[in-house]
Amino acid sequence: MSEQIYNVLFLCTGNSARSIMAEAIMNRVGQGRFQAYSAGSTPTGEVHPRTLALLKRMNFDTGFARSKSWDEFAVPEAPKLDFVFTVCDNAAGEVCPIWPGQPMTAHWGVPDPAHIEGTDTEIALAFSDSYRMLFSRISIFTALPLASIDRMSLQTKLDEIGKSKEKADECP
């Protein structure tokens, strides 16, 4: 019998940096167990060029990357979602659509590198830091024994991952 593949949606406001990174990371780290997607409440319509550059440096195929609305995932024909994670504080505070499948949700806030001002080095560091935080949280999540953990315990673990020491300073 084949193992269940869990559908995971990463949400942000613009869907141009953090959620795109999270989608890429999850599809690599969780390959065979997870199918990741990303979306935004008010998508910018384009993926931030520094996001694409970082992913390419990390040997990701960026052909998947496009900035899209979360509305694509709130229709009956959308994939049944098992998990929905917000990776920015703005998206966490917004009223989300009703997701097909009654997914588990958690907030994993990460600072937005797309809004950092400074030198090229400072901006590159912000993108790298966001990637590192997301990679850490996603790695912890994919190591959980999902098939053998009850829903309440799993929710506690999801919330703890978002509050890990890797969290953004502005996260609750």
The catalytic residue positions are 12, 88, 96
Nearest alpha carbon to residue 19 among 73, 78, 91, 81: 91
Q: Is 137 exposed, middle or buried (0-12, 13-18, 19+ CB in 10 A)?
A: buried
Length reported for the chain: 172
Q: Which contiguous run of DSSP H or E holds residue 106?
A: strand 104-107
Distance between CA atoms of 4 and 14, rounded to whole angstroms? 30
In this structure, are residues 62 and 55 in contact, taking their beta carbons and an 8 Å threshold?
Answer: yes
Distance between CA atoms of 150 and 133, rounded to whole angstroms? 26
